[in-house]
Amino acid sequence: MPLAHVVRQYALTSANDFPQRDPYSWRLLASNNGGQTWKILDTRQAELFSERHQRRVFQTRNRAAFNLYRLQIDRVREPDVAHAVQLAELEPLGEPGDGLDPRPIFADAITAQGDNPPFETAFQAFDGRPETKWLDVADVNGDRRSSWIQWRYLDKNSLVITNLEQLHLLGSEAREGYPLKVEGVLVGNDPASNQWWVLDPTGCIQVSDVAPAPQSVPGQRVLLEGRSQWVNHQAGIGQSVIVAQGPAAVRQPSRIVLGQPVHLGEGLTWVEVEGSVRFRTQPEDRMEFELVDNEQSLSVRILDFDKGKKLPPIGTRVRLQGVCSEVLNASGERVPGILWASDLNTLAVVDQSEAPQAFRPNFGVHDTDDQNATLLTDIRQIRRLDPDVLLRHPRCGSRAF
Rounded to whole angstroms, the Cα distance separating 354 from 143 reads: 68
> Tell me, what DSSP letter sits at residue 32?
S
Residue-level pLDDT at 363 = 35
- 164-244 fold: OB fold (Dihydrolipoamide Acetyltransferase, E2P) (2.40.50)
Residue-level pLDDT at 37 = 98
CA–chain centroid gap for 169, Å, is 10
Residue-level pLDDT at 121 = 97
Candidates 3.30.1360, 2.40.50, 3.30.310, 2.60.60; CATH matching 5-152: 2.60.60
- φ, ψ of residue 357 in degrees (nearest 5): -55, -35
In DSSP terms, 221 is beta-bridged to: 185
| Element holding 164 (H helix, E strand) | helix 164-170
Residue-level pLDDT at 365 = 36
State the distance between the two ends of the chain, measured CA to CA, in whole angstroms.
73
* 3-class secondary structure, 346: helix
Query: Taking the CB of residue 229, how many other CB atoms lie within 10 A of it?
Result: 20
Q: Where in the chain is the domain with CATH 2.40.50.140?
A: 254-361
Q: Where in the chain is the domain with CATH 2.60.60?
A: 5-152
Q: Where are the alpha helices (DSSP H) in 260-385?
A: 379-383
Beta strands in 209-316 (DSSP E): 221-231, 234-244, 254-255, 269-281, 287-293, 296-302
Query: Taking the CB of residue 266, how many other CB atoms lie within 10 A of it?
Result: 15
Residue-level pLDDT at 349 = 93
Residue-level pLDDT at 377 = 59
Residue-level pLDDT at 266 = 57
Q: Give whole-number Cα distances, 313 to 289, 295, 368, 389, in Å.
A: 11, 19, 10, 10
Residue-level pLDDT at 152 = 97
* 323-349 per-position pLDDT tens digit: 998 888 888 888 888 999 988 889 999
Candidates 3.20.20.150, 3.90.78.10, 2.40.50.140, 3.40.50.2300; CATH matching 254-361: 2.40.50.140
Q: Which residues of the chain have pLDDT under 70?
A: 1-2, 97-100, 211-215, 263-267, 285, 352-395, 397-401
